Copies of this chain bind each other. A is one copy, B any other.
Amino acid sequence: MLTYIYLIAITAEGMSGALAAGRRNMDIFGVSMIAFITALGGGTVRDILLGNYPIGWTQHPAYIYLTIGAGLITVLIARVMHHLHRLFLVLDAMGLVAFTIIGCNVAIGLGYSPTVVVMAGITTGIFGGILRDIFCNRTPMVLRKELYACVSLLVALLYLGLREFGINHDLNQVISFSIGLMIRLAAIRWSWRLPVFSYMPGRWAE
């Protein structure tokens, strides 16, 4: 199941990357590249940090074509994208949660400690979006919007916690995925946010 959700998720992330590239008036090569980085960048950063070689997409060319294809299709259907606004938010939420669980699984498989497993889950979940924003020269949105990165943290903690309690692996994935998705959708619906830290520029550090 996670594999299908993963494929849907990288498609949705690729499309979100393409839209961000469009805001910066990139050419279709730039659109393809940002789509690829947004969709597969989180897993790539995770693999580099954990030393997990060869990196995932180098063994699955299909993922590369899927994300680039998603980016190029977005260019064609950009005019109607805002009608798909809600569908998109749901797909993106599914991606966030699925990426997180997959990231945790990779780190667990490599024998890392629980703290690093959680970091790996979060990295997989949110770094694609962060790289997208850095390449498009804007402050990463996932660190400022309503509950997003934090959902990734909660899912990773829940998943590890249930695992510690000896819950069946598949059941754990279903539970963690469902609860994570609900939290994210609720956060969108009711605009849940973490407290924001606003620091006025003083003299000393600018």
Which residues of A are in contact with B by a Cβ distance under 8 Å?
16, 18-31, 33-34, 44, 48-51, 53-55, 58, 61, 64-65, 75, 78, 81-82, 85, 88-89, 112-113, 115-116, 119, 130, 134-141, 143-145, 149-150, 153, 193-206
* B143–A199 touching, CB < 8 Å: no
Q: How far is the CA of A141 from the CA of B27 in the complex (A)?
A: 10
Smallest Cβ-Cβ distance to A23: which chain B residue: B199
* Contact A88:B16 (CB < 8 A) given known A27-B143, A119-B64, A196-B27: no
CB-contact partner of A82 in B21, B51, B204, under 8 A: B204
A107: min CB distance to chain B, Å = 9
Secondary structure dominating the interface of A? helix
Number of copies: 3
Chain B residues within an 8 Å CB radius of A53: 51
Residue of B nearest to A114 (CB): B61
Residues A26 and B115 in contact, CB atoms below 8 Å apart: no
Output the nearest chain B residue to A153 by Cβ-Cβ distance: B29
- Could you tell me if B149 and A85 are in contact, using CB atoms closer than 8 angstroms? no
Given contacts A24-B144, A134-B134, A205-B19, contact A149 B197 (CB under 8 A): no
B204 close to A149 (CB less than 8 A): no
Check if A115 sits within 8 Å of B64, measured CB to CB.
yes
22 residue pairs A–B, Cβ–Cβ below 8 Å: A21-B143, A22-B198, A25-B196, A27-B197, A30-B140, A30-B144, A34-B143, A51-B53, A51-B54, A58-B113, A61-B116, A82-B202, A82-B204, A85-B204, A130-B135, A134-B134, A135-B140, A136-B139, A137-B137, A137-B138, A137-B139, A145-B206
